[in-house]
Amino acid sequence: MASAWDARPPGRLPLLLCLLLLRSPAQAAHIKKAEATTSAGAQAAEGQFDRYYHEAELSSVLREVAAAGSPGLARLFSIGRSVEGRPLWVLRLTAGLEPPPPDGDAGPDAAGPLLPGRPQVKLVGNMHGDETVSRQVLVYLARELVAGYHRGDPRLVRLLNTTDVYLMPSLNPDGFERAREGDCGLGDGDPPGPTGRDNSRGRDLNRSFPDQFRTGEPPALDDVPEVRALMDWIHRNKFVLSGNLHGGSVVASYPFDDSPEHKVTGIYSKTSDDEVFKYLAKAYASNHPIMKTGAPHCPGDEDETFKDGITNGAHWYDVEGGMQDYNYVWADCFEITLELSCCKYPPASQLRQEWENNRESLITLIEKVHIGVKGFVKDSVTGSGLENATISVAGINHNITTGRFGDFHRLLVPGTYNLTAVLTGYMPLTFNNVTVKEGPATEVNFSLRPTVTSVIPDTTEAVATSSTVAVPNIPPGTPPSHQPIQPKDFHHHHFPDMEIFLRRFANEYPNITRLYSLGKSVESRELYVMEISDNPGVHEPGEPEFKYIGNMHGNEVVGRELLLNLIEYLCKNFGTDPEVTDLVRNTRIHLMPSMNPDGYEKSQEGDSVSVVGRNNSNNFDLNRNFPDQFVQITDPAQPETIAVISWMKAYPFVLSANLHGGSLVVNYPYDDDEQGLATYSKSPDDAVFQQIALSYSKENIQMYQGRPCKNMYPTEYFPHGITNGAKWYNVPGGMQDWNYLHTNCFEVTIELGCVKYPFEKDLPKLWEQNRRSLIQFMKQVHQGVRGFVLDATDGRGILNATISVAEINHPVTTYKTGDYWRLLVPGTYKITASARGYNPATKNVTVKSEGAVQVNFTLVRSSTDSNHESKKGKGDSTNTDDANDPTTKEFETLIKDLSAENGLEDLMLRSSSNLALYRYHSYKDLSEFLRGLVMNYPQITNLTSLGQSAEYRHIWSLEISNKPNVSEPEEPKIRFVAGIHGNAPVGTELLLALAEFLCLNYKKNPAVTQLIDRTRIVIVPSLNPDGRERAQEKDCTSKKGQTNAHGKDLDTDFTNNASQPETKAIIENLIQKQDFSLSVALDGGSVLVTYPYDKPVQTVENKETLKHLASLYANNHPSMHMGQPSCPNKSGTNSPIFCCCLGETFSYCLANLITLNVFIDENIPGGVMRGAEWHSHLGSMKDYSVTYGHCPEITVYTSCCYFPSAVQLPSLWAENKKSLLSMLVEVHKGVHGFVKDKSGKPVSKAVIVLNEGIKVHTKEGGYFHVLLAPGFHNINAIADGYQQQHSQVFVHHDAASSVVIVFDTDNRIFGLPRELVVTVLGATMSALILTACIIWCICSIKSNRHKDGFHRLRQHHDEYEDEIRMMSTGSKKSLLSHEFQDETDTEEETLYSSKH
């Protein structure tokens, strides 16, 4: 096949000469230049296939190709350099480019501006240095495109007029230089020596990208500058389509390249755009003479075949950290990987054939960027393009965003689609039934209407708003008279340096420091916090807590270094400097130098404006990752975010600052507004925020002047160096707003300098500029009002009492000792303290400018709660007899302490937790493990079999209590059940860990010991042992093993006609006993908690209590309460969209995909929802437990993956341990009751009706226990032979309410008083007797009349008796025929009389 750039046929030369004569001299000169270049290129082309281009020649050839193009067609630039400093060349080819810069810059900026509406395509070669065919083929392709455009080839002219093409021949030039021609990568027959596959630091570039399924720590980007350069390049552009060219086989591979299971081969890891990727891969393979056969017959893999010449990457083999997945997941770019030849580095003699094999495929692939849908998203008012608008396609869970001109290209296969464009501040718009055909893209343009018309901000300098607090007339930066010791350590601290620094100061100053970690970053770096206090590790009642957080954006490093300086400053000056000493003694200070240590390691010194290292290692901006009041944050919660949120919930922080860089200003809430516009978004505490912001800025002279970065932002002006966040620019998902809205903490964001990563020499100056500001800001924690809220009965502090200030809609709450802090500006306020179950108290308070005023509140319990005596005529309800028992009091105190914030953390810290969680337990292992516990802890354990499974495996039940197998009805009983679905065994392992944890700590940890002594704990670790034996580890979505051996989902068999042996065993031996107070079931497939009912359209009785129990579990889990599981296996049976389709037609589901997408994204408020809303079905265990067992049950879904790798078990235990223990504490709350009659005899089997709905029965001994949500509840007690009793009880959040119900004997009959019933009965009997007498008298009179009629017959005794005999026979005939018949009576009367 002749090359397209071979010399032109001689017959065309005369025509060209004629054209030259007709043109102007300038035009002729240009044509001559072009012809000369083309001629030279043609001559060179003859020898182009005889060798590979090494570094110098490659650079020269690319420059020649760029120069040979028509004006405005080509740009050559480098996106960065390799480890050894070689340029990473890219040749851009598209018509209409501007002339290159005159200075000859070859850096990334030399690429030139993007062109509106023109899709970008890139082809990257030689990623593995020893896979070399792509390096040459891309150079040949560049020549082909340039020459074809020049000669007027219609296809290529159309292509370059409509497409922005980028060709990168070598991503790994260092590796290429080490590779050896003839090395096919087959082993024995290859030349000796290094292969050149990796870069110069031994890193495989195609294993070094962030990965959505990553399990290990990725290489630091410092080791792979090639990858860092490529990632930066990708994010500076808006690539639509890409090809990654490799060698070693002949096949087109498409995403995903790996799977959550990371199985070596055989797992088809499907993207949401699987059909598009298969279409693209087939487009390439079908035009390649070898690839399209699907049988490359590569040496060593002769039998390997690929249907249609394509394969899913992970199905072929698992590649973690690959480039094609990164493009799709993080950059909206569809990339496929193309293996071009069996031999990785074939001899140069084969290059011509390789080019001919791939030419048509390469051009066809580039053309496919024009399929699908394209268009613009514009503002309907201004007509300007809208950047970063989201384009979503119904039914495809993968969105793209618009480019800087509002343009978009969405690759789709032929079909009909519904498209939606969404942008904050605009009304979303949907086009339904958009038809995509084979060929050019369908054009769809969106015109979005703003929700609010934007107002152009006034850039004139103005004074602060009317709510601004007056600034004291103190010269900024006034130094104190005492000169404290200044830090000496001024250099940039990478993570190892920072770690050593922190440990050193924690070791040198143990009396005032405590170093702790919040958790780990994505790359497993510790998230360190240094506490500085005169009593480290302890919350001192009444002492406020303060925090600084630095380096949230990894490339904004000044805050990191200032906090390390501040640690040194505070430690060295404590005890000698009065200001520092007073601050440390009266404040608990927490300093977090780096929230994003991974991003820091990727950042570069001297960076002023770039975003390199800004995000975390999953490429998410942590300051857009917090739940937001105005915008739904759809990005998955990051480990760093989760750790910080848990931290902020655990400590009673009062004041905080988040240290950033890039400007010089203090920014205060709110950071965004409802419309998404840059407008002042005022919080209820706007005056307070201005006061604390000014406390920082006025000590920093440059900041206070308000014009921070004149060279970078000449029009930017901040009066007094402060600004409202949203007025500056909108930041949804920011940390400072989350602090204010979800905790008691007031946080501001401080921008510390115009340069994000200044040079080391500037660090001393930055400390000097900010040191007074840092100290003065910390002092603000002591402004406003502080105090305690106490219980008038026992003087104890009241946790979670509310402190509200009249006319300021932002209450704060008390900490566990009842202490509170409320920041306020000077003024007079009406402050109210309130708590559930107490009468509120209000005081008028005057706040001054210096120091916080102390205001204590003592609350009296409300009348209903302060005594348990029932209302008149309603029976008697009093405290239980053992209320004054010292051990009972001690246990009540323990429950209260464990219910307080950090209570469970303290328990876990004091507990032995040396558990061996490194593998899953098979049925045999599980049985041996349980027997081992019983053998080692016989005094507190008892193992029984509830029954057998379908395959005759035991369903084990382990009881843990101080008197196992002994009925103690006065103690609450809790059960934990797992493994109802055999393919989700995480719950089984968690329950085994819980059992071992409890046993290990019995008699060692006082809290655990008391819990076991006063609770009957039943653990059923595996309800479906048969299914568990069939399930396989790392099967995250497989349903294998979900059912029992009969193929029955056991969670649909809990009915009165249960058919399976497993469910019968649970029903008969656990649920129907009706003696449990709480049940917790563990399952898998997501991260949330569901509460009854699972059945649809079911009114939920006691909903508040059930939801309270579920929320309690979720809130003690580090991420569950955030309600964003972000599970990849959203198409499983637990997916709401799947469940909807179970009960509806497919067309109905399809029509409602957009509506259901909110559930696909899994935004679950508080991590809790009703079972029917999650996975509606009949016959569930929790429904049966509530209905027939009178026991509340919640279901906990512990992990997204049904059967994750065993290496995840320790982290899953760590995540769930606190929640599981919280259930053991919660079971001791609610209402404990005892029912007896007036003689003191316990009344068993009495019915206790709560809130006219929930029913429980008293146990043997008259005891009952029921869990209820905090608040007031009505109790009705009913028993045969006794009067019904009514009472009301108040349930506390941290203690049980104990009641005794005393029955009166029921003296009523048929519901009426006994006296009335006796009177009525007596009267009735008298009436009956009187009636009988009257009847007797009447009958007697009639009898006498009969005797008068027959007087003639009574002449002698014998005749009379004969007559009587005749009458007694009832012979009517004889009587009627008698000649002396009395004719005065009727026949009936005669008969009646004769019978008497």
DSSP code of 838?
B
Helices (H), 735-796: 735-742, 763-779
What is the CA angle 10-46-357, rounded to 5?
A: 105
By the 8 A CB rule, do 1067 and 1054 touch?
yes
Q: Which two tokens stand for residue 544?
A: 């406020």
Which stretches does DSSP call E strand in 1252-1395? 1254-1257, 1263-1266, 1271-1278, 1285-1291, 1297-1303, 1308-1309, 1312-1313
Provide the Cα torsion 257, 259, 263, 264; round to 10°: 10
Terminus-to-terminus CA distance in the chain, angstroms?
137
Nearest-CA neighbor of 362 among 251, 287, 416, 303? 287
- CA–CA gap between residue 623 and residue 556 (Å, rounded): 12
Count of Cβ atoms closer than 10 Å to residue 931 Cβ: 13
Is-catalytic flag, 461?
no
Nearest-CA neighbor of 277 among 233, 329, 320, 230? 329
Nearest-CA neighbor of 281 among 249, 252, 315, 324? 252
For residue 124, give the 3-state DSSP assignment.
strand
By the 8 A CB rule, do 934 and 941 touch?
yes
By the 8 A CB rule, do 1302 and 869 touch?
no
- Contact partners, residue 431, CB within 8 Å, separation at least 6: 418, 419, 420, 444, 446
- CA–CA gap between residue 1294 and residue 1108 (Å, rounded): 13
- CA–CA gap between residue 815 and residue 800 (Å, rounded): 6
What is the CA angle 119-120-122, rounded to 5?
A: 150
Cross-strand partners of 1216 = none
Strand 310-312 with 390-393, pairing: unpaired
DSSP code of 301?
B
- CA–CA gap between residue 87 and residue 176 (Å, rounded): 13
Q: Which two tokens stand for residue 306?
A: 């690929």
Mapped to the 3 state alphabet, what secondary structure does 14-34 carry? HHHHHHHHHCCHHHHHHHHHH
Helix axes 578-586, 558-573, angle to 10 degrees: 100
By the 8 A CB rule, do 577 and 686 touch?
no
Nearest-CA neighbor of 358 among 526, 661, 139, 562? 139
By the 8 A CB rule, do 446 and 389 touch?
yes
By the 8 A CB rule, do 49 and 134 touch?
no
Helices (H), 1031-1102: 1061-1069
Is-catalytic flag, 768?
no
Q: Which amino acid is at 1249?
A: V
> Which residue in the list 131, 751, 971, 1062 is annotated as catalytic?
751
Cross-strand partners of 957 = 944
Angstrom CA distances, 744 to 260, 650, 849, stand at 39, 11, 21
Note the residue count of the chain.
1396
Torsion sign over Cα 95, 100, 106, 108 = negative
- Contact partners, residue 626, CB within 8 Å, separation at least 6: 633, 641, 645, 733, 734, 735, 737, 738
Provide the Cα torsion 644, 647, 649, 653; round to 10°: -100
Cross-strand partners of 1286 = 1276
> Which residue in the list 226, 261, 339, 568 is annotated as catalytic?
339
Any idea which residues carry the catalytic annotation?
339, 751
